[in-house]
Amino acid sequence: RDAVALREAAKPALTQDGVPVRVHANLGAADEAAPAAAHGADGCGLLRTEFLFLDRRAAPDEAEQTQEYTRIVQGLNGGMLTLRTLDVGGDKPLPYLPIAAEENPALGIRGLRFSLRHPDLLAVQFRAALKAAAAGPLRVMLPMVNDLSEFRTAKACFDACVAELNIAAPVSLGVMIETPAAAMLAEQLATEAAFLSIGSNDLSQYVLAMDRGHAALAGALDAMHPAVLRMISMVAKAGLAAGRSVSVCGGLAGDPEAVPVLLGLGVAELSVVPRQVPRIKQQARQLRLAECQQLAADVLSLPSADAVRRAVRHTLQGVS
């Protein structure tokens, strides 16, 4: 039965009305790539590169990073690797690059803000990514971007690395949409960033003003909240209007109840934990895009995440 399930998972996911839904895997270590591909992942929609930098005494050099990223590209078997640049901060400190203690690490020096303060580190990571792209398809993604000005600063560093290395393979540079600022400015970001990927974990933390690590808020912090879904809707519209691919790579993408809503909002690329890939593909195959669009439009007017979930369940009962 497992072999049958894996064969099924390896096939592309098409909705009932033939719309392709790409399901990628989120990875946090090199040896997760091949098993993710075996579970039917069409690629990697988020490589959390922090694993290479944490728990050691110095940053990995260009050769070590190139080797690790190359292994991951190879493990994905022709699928695209979306490599996210380092996303550390006060909550995930590096012992060799200490950050001054912060009252609110979630609002502090993290993600791209950290990288722009350590441009040498960022350039080494860009160079390693560009070299690994010789082994297969790879794109680079920036975390915690707020606006076009930050994107341009990072892009200038990226372009300088491309020029120095004189590489043939095209590697695109995209952004995560994880802050309300980035969502509000998605239209601007989409003019220059090659793709947009919504980090629903951080986006909901910042939109709902609820700490994602707060145990007592865990039940209430739900990315299916209409305020978060409206932001996602804006981002999807802006990305699609500019001809950019739009994906969701936060936990929301791996939630079967969210799949019809995301498809209906225009998000046809999902990146989920590897073991969820078969389930999410199966879910996409049950759905019809026109019905998802109607559902998505309706839920934006509901008063809470719970109400959104009830509406989704009601629709899904009619489907299966």
Residues of the shown chain interacting with Mg ion in the complex, contacts defined by CB under 5 A: 178, 199, 202
Determine if 201 is a binding residue for ligand PEP (CB under 6 A): yes
**3-state SS class at 48:** strand
What percentage of the chain's residues is helix, strand, coil (to nearest 5)? 55, 15, 30
Query: Which one of ligand PEP, Mg ion, none is in contact with 46 (Cβ closer than 5 to 8 A by kind)?
Result: ligand PEP
Neighbours of 11 (CB within 10 A): 10
- CB of 254 or CB of 266, closer to ligand PEP: 254
Q: Which residue sits closest to Mg ion, CB atoms considered?
A: 202
What does the H/E/C string look like for 237-282?
A: HHHHHCCCEEEECCHHHHCCCHHHHHHHHCCCEEEECHHHHHHHHH
- CB of 138 or CB of 203, closer to ligand PEP: 203
- CB of 182 or CB of 287, closer to Mg ion: 182
**186 close to 196: Cβ distance less than 8 angstroms:** yes
Q: How far is the CB of 14 from ligand PEP (least distance, A)?
A: 26
Q: How far is the CB of 159 from ligand PEP (least distance, A)?
A: 25
Q: How far is the CB of 164 from Mg ion (least distance, A)?
A: 29
Determine if 178 is a binding residue for ligand PEP (CB under 6 A): yes
Neighbours of 64 (CB within 10 A): 13
- Nearest Cα residue to 10 out of 31, 37, 46: 37
- Nearest Cα residue to 175 out of 65, 46, 81, 265: 46
Q: How far is the CB of 87 from ligand PEP (least distance, A)?
A: 6
- CB of 75 or CB of 199, closer to ligand PEP: 199
Determine if 48 is a binding residue for ligand PEP (CB under 6 A): yes
- CB of 37 or CB of 141, closer to Mg ion: 141
Q: How far is the CB of 249 from Mg ion (least distance, A)?
A: 9
Q: How far is the CB of 156 from ligand PEP (least distance, A)?
A: 24
Using the contact rule CB under 6 A, the part of the chain among 125-133, 196-204, 292-300, 305-313 near ligand PEP is 196-204
Determine if 177 is a binding residue for ligand PEP (CB under 6 A): no
CA 130-115-145 angle, 5° bins: 90
- Nearest Cα residue to 97 out of 134, 135, 50: 50
Q: How far is the CB of 307 from Mg ion (least distance, A)?
A: 26
Q: Give the CA dihedral 221, 253, 244, 154, nearest 10 degrees.
A: 60
Residues 233-272, one symbol each (x = binds ligand PEP by CB under 6 A, - = not), give ----------------xx----------------------
Encoding tokens for residue 118? 């350590």
d(CA 71, CA 67): 6
Encoding tokens for residue 220? 């209430």
Determine if 90 is a binding residue for ligand PEP (CB under 6 A): no
Cα 74 to chain centroid distance, Å, stands at 20
- CB of 38 or CB of 109, closer to Mg ion: 109
Q: Which position among 174, 199, 239, 274 is part of the footprint of ligand PEP (CB under 6 A)?
A: 199
Contacts with ligand PEP, residue ranges (CB under 6 A): 46, 48, 87, 178, 199-202, 249-250
